[in-house]
Structure 1
């Protein structure tokens, strides 16, 4: 079951409305009596990789960081919290240099463009963000030809990569070489499934022995690390460059970090400017990311442990089955017996300030584990499901 995030946001309608509107607005619509027993505090959300703040919440979080550490502004991405954030990511990834960028698309595209140099071909997963969701930027802006492998699969193997490159050499009259390989891990279009670390090691060894640049689209790399136990630094060690998102789970409104060897990263500041990504002030996003990164991995592990307790109890209830995905991370399937009214369950949970996606025609949906599970005790969440059922 593949739940496309953008389609979900477009089609969920009123199912997601409480997630988009402050509770005070909901109460003003005449539904106060239905929420009178709801807990105070933030909402538990069984969707998304992490917390996403409303404007007033965002400002409140920044005030916390300002009070604790103080926010020093940057100028055109230099100095201040931007410098502190980049330094933090060199420590996390083990790379020589990190550069803040306004978007993940820019980070991915600049990485593969620089790594591939004069060569025109870049190997990608067919399901990857670089291939499916970046508006053909590699072709139209950078003159790179994306060659997708492993259609509809989470990843390609080292053997498939080697065979794909060999077939290009044999099948084209006017030969051009592969300059870079890009791997997304985990893969959003595969419901956050991961590329096995042993396969990554083999691909890395092949690329290095053949002088092919290797880029990691690790937008949600902390999610992969949380479920596999492989550290972010180890993942990054097998790649030349790695991009990590600042808004997927660190709460920033936007932003990305690209890390890599100094000789590659020294070119990035100029390229960001050339492609219109140099903004005078970036401190709003950098400060939030620094604030939320503190203790994030611990909170994520606590959320994972909480989810294990929640799902184990739910699986003991009649007509309920929660299952992990094969090769998956933070997304689980929830299958409800036909006798259970999935929409009523969703509505009941919503009154308890617990949001889950609407079940489909088969009474199935997906539950995503993130740190919002820590907003309420495990027993409270379990009892809310029991009441709704």
Structure 2
């Protein structure tokens, strides 16, 4: 196709800061945040805590460090963290809780919609907690929306069940809500309505919200105090971090409502893909900005298709089990979706 833009859909981490973010970063009021004196960081943390209905928040360099510090704050050494076997924490975060925190991962089967079945969770608890042979669960981690399950959103009714389950067993709940704002927009509820069921939540500023750097952890004041110390230990204490926080404030104040456009584009992409011979895509499963599809044309492997699309300016990638993932974001317009569908159709023709 002539005059084709580069269409980047490998991830929403490829978003670029908006002109307003760049302007805010240039003019940010700064201080040394390790001393607690960067006022722009403090504004971002207060705003994040308020929006998620928690007492406090802390700015972290990355979502990986945010999840790691949260797990370490919740879990004593030698305890277990319950994680989905398809979760980002378990697969993509380099085993940090085991390496840095002495915390054992207990993988639990992830259902097609991102849930962890309560019966499966119950089975990992020892019948006799007093038996010294067993490491005891201290934390249950959820992912919402769930990346490798196609951006699926966990229903509030399920979160309520999980909260009751964890409370009964006296363990905490941490939510990897890297894209929690996508979940909130998809459900038409405030993010606080989702976060209320978790003791702590991590979310990314640098994915669909288009900030260049940063993630947040929210929770109680005491918990955030523990995370603050762990962040320092892990090397995540930053100095004039208001440069980062200024973009994050624009993300929270200006970039959330527009996520609905990404969801519409994802559904448009999925519908287009589902009509292409040689492609399998369940457009009914698309709830946020993530689309999974498979190549069924026997002439193509997923590797060959991804490579050919790359040469034609359409960037997607495999994300487990031979599935190809495409993620819509602020850098992908409706026109880009139409072009991408046309290129994929032409490639398989």
TM-score interval (norm. to shorter):
0.7 to 0.9
Q: Check the 8 A contact 2:309/2:344 in 1, yes or no.
A: no
Match status 1:110 vs 2:69: yes
Distance 2:170 2:188 in 1: 29
Distance 2:307 2:87 in 1: 36
Question: Who is 2:123 aligned against?
Answer: 163
More helix by share: 1
Paired residue for 1:48, among 11, 14, 20?
Answer: 11
Paired residue for 2:181, among 217, 222, 225?
Answer: 222
Q: Mean Cα displacement is larger for which, 126-135 or 99-108?
A: 126-135
Q: Check the 8 A contact 1:246/1:256 in 2, yes or no.
A: yes
User: Where does the alignment leave 5 or more consecutive residues of structure 2 unmatched?
Assistant: none
Paired residue for 1:76, among 27, 30, 33?
Answer: 33
Structure 1 residue 149, shift from structure 2 partner = 1.8
Distance 1:382 1:140 in 2: 43
SS in 2 for 1:305: helix
Distance 1:366 1:106 in 2: 24
Q: Check the 8 A contact 1:219/1:244 in 2, yes or no.
A: yes
Question: Who is 1:332 aligned against?
Answer: 292
Question: Who is 2:22 aligned against?
Answer: 63
User: Where does the alignment leave 5 or more consecutive residues of structure 1 unmatched?
Assistant: 1-33
Q: Mean Cα displacement is larger for which, 327-336 or 93-102?
A: 327-336
Paired residue for 1:128, among 87, 111, 124?
Answer: 87
Superposed CA offset, 1:88-143 (max 9, x none): 21122111100112222332222222223577232222232333333333233223
Distance 2:332 2:134 in 1: 53
Question: Who is 2:96 aligned against?
Answer: 137
Q: Check the 8 A contact 1:51/1:371 in 2, yes or no.
A: no
Distance 2:163 2:345 in 1: 47
Structure 1 residue 181, shift from structure 2 partner = 1.6
Question: Who is 1:249 aligned against?
Answer: 208
Distance 1:219 1:50 in 2: 11
Superposed CA offset, 1:339-365 (max 9, x none): 899679837852xxx54459xxx9x84
Paired residue for 1:260, among 207, 219, 223?
Answer: 219
SS in 1 for 2:33: coil
Structure 1 residue 263, shift from structure 2 partner = 2.0
Q: Check the 8 A contact 2:87/2:148 in 1, yes or no.
A: yes
Higher-Rg member (1/2): 1
Structure 1 residue 385, shift from structure 2 partner = 6.7
SS in 1 for 2:57: strand
What TM-score results when the alignment is normalised by the length of structure 2? 0.78
Structure 1 residue 72, shift from structure 2 partner = 1.5
Q: Check the 8 A contact 1:44/1:373 in 2, yes or no.
A: yes
Question: Who is 2:193 aligned against?
Answer: 234
Distance 1:260 1:307 in 2: 31
Distance 1:169 1:72 in 2: 51
Match status 1:274 vs 2:233: yes
Q: How does 1:172-321 map to 2 (within 5 A)?
A: 172-174=131-133, 177-309=136-268, 311-312=270-271
Superposed CA offset, 1:25-63 (max 9, x none): xxxxxxxxx96x456xxx54333125433xxxx595643
Distance 2:306 2:239 in 1: 47
Structure 1 residue 370, shift from structure 2 partner = 2.3
Q: Check the 8 A contact 1:357/1:366 in 2, yes or no.
A: yes
Q: Check the 8 A contact 1:215/1:240 in 2, yes or no.
A: yes
SS in 2 for 1:271: helix
Distance 1:118 1:383 in 2: 53
SS in 2 for 1:292: helix
Distance 2:311 2:206 in 1: 29
Supply the RMSD in Å over aligned alpha carbons: 3.8
- Structure 1 residues 225 and 81, CA gap change in structure 2 (3 angstroms): same
The count of residues paired between Structure 1 and Structure 2 equals: 340
Structure 1 residue 237, shift from structure 2 partner = 0.5
